[in-house]
Amino acid sequence: MSEATKTKAETDGQPPRRGKRGPRSDKPERILAYLRQYFAEHRYPPSVRDIVEGCNLSSTSVADYNLKILEREGHIHRDRERARTISLTEPVEPTEPARIESSRSSIGVPLLGSIAAGTRSLVPEGVDVAHAESRISVTSDMLAGRDPEQVFALTVRGDSMIDALIADNDTVILEEATNIANGQMAAVWLRDENICTLKRLYYEQGQVRLQPENPTMAPIFTNESNMQIQGRVVSVIRHPR
Q: Which amino acid is at 21?
A: R
Q: Which of 59, 199, 225, 235 is flagged as catalytic?
A: 199
Q: Map residue 77 onto helix, strand or coil.
A: strand
Distance of alpha carbon 165 from the chain centroid = 2
Strand partners, 210: 201, 220
Which secondary-structure segment (H or E) carries 235? strand 227-237
Main-chain phi, psi angles of 146, to 5 degrees:
-75, 155
Q: How far is CA 22 from CA 7, 11, 25, 70, 185, in A?
A: 10, 16, 9, 18, 44
A 10 A CB-CB count for 16 gives 14
Q: Which of 47, 114, 121, 160 is flagged as catalytic?
A: 160
Based on the residue annotation, tell me whether 58 is a catalytic residue of this protein. no
Based on the residue annotation, tell me whether 160 is a catalytic residue of this protein. yes
A 10 A CB-CB count for 44 gives 14
Give the closest residue to 155 by CA, choosing from 140, 143, 168, 141.
168
Q: Running DSSP on this structure, what letter comes out for residue 149? A: G
Residues with a known catalytic role = 160, 199
